[in-house]
Amino acid sequence: MLNLSSNPLFWPNQGNFNMDKNKSNIFIGGGIATKTEFSQAVPFDILGFLLSAEFTKRQIPGSKVFLLIADQHAWLANNFDREKCQKTADNLHQTILTIIKKFQLQDWQVFLASQVFPNALPQSYEELEKRDVTHFFNQHNCGLKIGWSASMAENQHKTDESHFDQQLNIPIQSIFTKPGVTSNPKKPFESPYICTNPATRITVDKSSISKWRVNPAVKNHLNRITMLFEQLIETFPNKTPLEVKVKKIISKIIC
C-alpha cells in the first residue's frame, strides 16, 4: 500500500492504493497549451509534478515512470499552429530531460505523442487523452497515473486531469497533486507544466534567478516543492532562505 502522506504536494485523503504487480508502472503526462493559449515558459511547479511521480515510484519496487508530452493535442484538438506547437513541445521536452539527468532520476522514459501516434487524426482533447492513457496501460503496464487537480471537490474544473480521468474505461488508479500557483488573483491556479504568463510564475530559466516577486500563496507552494526536493534529491543547510533554495534548484537545472 502506498504512503502518500509525506508528499506535501499530494491532496490528502485520496484513499488506499494497492498496486497490481503486473501493472506497477506509472504514467504521467504534460501538455503545451490551454484551450486558447500556448505555454510561454516552463514553470517551476513542474518540478513538484515530476518529483511526485518519482516519490511514488520509489515506493513501488521495480516500477518505471512513463512520461508523455501531449504535443499533437494542441493542433489536433484545438487547431493551434503545428510549427509553434513543436517548438513549445521541444522546450518542454528538453527541460524535462535535463531535470531527469541533473536530478539523476532512474527508470524514466519520455515520449512525444506525435512520435507514439504519428498517424493520429483530429479529435477532441478528451478522446486523445483517453487514447494516451489506454495505450500506456496496455503497452507499458502503467497501472497508476499521476495527475493534477485544482480541487478535490465534486464539482471539478473541466481543465484539470481529474475531469478527464472520470471518463476512462480502464482500471487505472489516479493520484492527484495540487495545481500550479500563480501570483494573479484573477487566475490563482494553473497547470503545473503550463505557464501562460511568466510574469505571474517562477519559471525554469535565467529570468527567475534574478527576479523574486511572490505572494504568500506562491511562496507556500514553492516551499512545498522545495520540501519534496530535499526529501528526494538533496538537502540545503539549515535556515537556508526559500528564495535561495529555489534559485539554487533552478541553477542546478539550467547551468
CATH of the domain at 129: 3.40.50
Asked, for residue 120, whether it belongs to a domain, the answer is: yes
Dihedral sign from CA coordinates of 198, 72, 156, 152: negative
Asked, for residue 13, whether it belongs to a domain, the answer is: no
| DSSP string for 90-119 | HHHHHHHHHHHHHTT--SEEEEEHHHHSTT
pLDDT for residue 164: 61
Average confidence score pLDDT of the chain: 94
Average pLDDT over residues 63-90: 98
pLDDT of 60 > 60? The answer is yes
Confidence of residue 19 (pLDDT cuts 50, 70, 90): confident
Cell of 198: 511568466
Confidence of residue 165 (pLDDT cuts 50, 70, 90): low
State the total domains in the chain.
1
pLDDT for residue 153: 72
Asked, for residue 12, whether it belongs to a domain, the answer is: no
pLDDT for residue 18: 85
Range of the domain at 210: 25-254
pLDDT of 166 > 80? The answer is no
pLDDT of 160 > 70? The answer is no
pLDDT of 145 > 60? The answer is yes
pLDDT of 221 > 70? The answer is yes
Rounded to 10 deg, the angle between the 82-102 and 242-254 helix axes is 110
Q: Which has the closest alpha carbon to 121: 192, 162, 160, 72?
A: 72
Asked, for residue 1, whether it belongs to a domain, the answer is: no
Average pLDDT over residues 115-132: 96
CA distance 169 to 16: 20
Asked, for residue 2, whether it belongs to a domain, the answer is: no
Asked, for residue 116, whether it belongs to a domain, the answer is: yes
Question: ∠ CA 216-222-224 to the nearest 5 degrees?
Answer: 105
Asked, for residue 11, whether it belongs to a domain, the answer is: no
pLDDT for residue 169: 80
- Contacts of 8 by beta carbon, 8 Å cutoff, 6+ apart: 224, 227, 228
Asked, for residue 10, whether it belongs to a domain, the answer is: no
Q: What percentage of the chain reaches a pLDDT higher than 90?
A: 84
pLDDT of 223 > 60? The answer is yes
Whether the CB-CB separation of 83 and 135 falls below 8 Å is answered with no
**What residue has cell string 480502464?**
170
